[in-house]
């Protein structure tokens, strides 16, 4: 959901009474197109549409979030007042470029995972999902998370309340057993509890206590394999979701993909995403 107050906040940064650059042109009806200059996965069309609606610009959406666009393909056709189109231009292009970059980057990670498994290997094997983290830009997290989804990834937690997360600092302050006991006592049955583990022994303890998810943090692929083997031997592997994070990059992603975990979460899908080159051209004025 996109709120009017959000659109107004974005526009407020640019729109001023002494906006000479946009007011140079006379107010007249124009046609325009927004197009991509490189192949990408599209994201951000919903917020673009919300801006167009607010600015009373008519539009036709040619690409939806999650679609693949080739260089030169049109994302939107527009018709509206020239001044309004110019004022909306940079805000819309910024969102489309940034979010499509995240979606495209996420899709690249997903593709590496898919390529790590041959069709014959998929039967009975765990193929992990790529997930985002909460290392996102304050104020536009929900859009960045949506872009990860558009690229084929998992959004992970949207906020601190989504899942009860017992991290290393909780454990340092309270100890694992006490932290988990308090979390269990205060948490509704509708929510999952996730525990961060740095060692296979810590992961085993978390599984024995009944954690729903265990985050294997900054473990090598070999250490994760050992942890999965231990949990399997203890008949606990199928009772927990295993997530790996930390030190995972495109270069070593395949080795982590085959460790037997369920989720690979990376801040890189959002933080290392290059912006996609997207432009707006006025076609004609009336």
The catalytic residues are: 135
Instruction: Select from 124, 128, 102, 118 the least CA-distant residue to 40.
Output: 102
Which residue do the tokens 């199928």 mark? 238
User: Are 56 and 84 spatial neighbours (Cβ–Cβ below 8 Å)?
Assistant: yes
Burial tier of 168 (Cβ tally within 10 Å: 0-12, 13-18, 19+): middle
Q: Find, among 184, 151, 115, 171, the residue nearest to 43 by Cα.
A: 151
């Amino acid at each position: 959901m996109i709120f009017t107050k959000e659109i107004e906040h974005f526009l407020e940064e640019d729109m001023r009474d002494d906006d000479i650059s946009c007011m140079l042109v006379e107010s007249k009806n124009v046609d325009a197109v927004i197009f991509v200059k490189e192949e990408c996965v599209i994201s951000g069309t919903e917020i673009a549409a919300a801006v167009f609606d607010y600015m009373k610009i008519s539009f036709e959406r040619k690409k939806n979030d999650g679609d693949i666009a080739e260089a030169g393909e049109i994302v939107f056709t527009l018709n509206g007042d020239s001044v309004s189109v110019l004022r909306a231009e940079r805000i819309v292009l910024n969102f489309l470029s940034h979010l499509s970059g995240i979606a495209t980057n996420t899709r690249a990670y997903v593709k590496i995972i898919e390529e790590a498994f041959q069709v014959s290997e998929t039967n009975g094997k765990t193929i992990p999902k790529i997930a985002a983290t909460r290392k996102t830009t304050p104020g536009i997290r929900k859009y960045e998370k949506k872009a990860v989804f558009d690229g084929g990834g998992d959004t992970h937690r949207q906020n601190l309340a989504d899942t009860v997360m017992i991290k290393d600092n909780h454990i340092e302050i309270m100890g694992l057993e006490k932290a988990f006991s308090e979390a269990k006592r205060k948490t509704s049955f509708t929510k999952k509890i996730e525990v961060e583990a740095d060692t296979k022994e810590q992961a085993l303890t978390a599984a024995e206590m009944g954690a729903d998810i265990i985050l294997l943090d900054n473990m090598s692929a070999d250490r994760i394999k050992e942890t999965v083997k231990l949990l399997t031997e203890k008949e606990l592997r199928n009772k927990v979701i295993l997530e790996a994070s930390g030190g995972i990059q495109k270069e070593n992603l395949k080795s982590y993909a085959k460790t037997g975990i369920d989720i690979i979460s990376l801040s890189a899908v959002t933080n290392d995403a290059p912006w996609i080159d997207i432009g707006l051209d006025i076609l004609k004025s009336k």
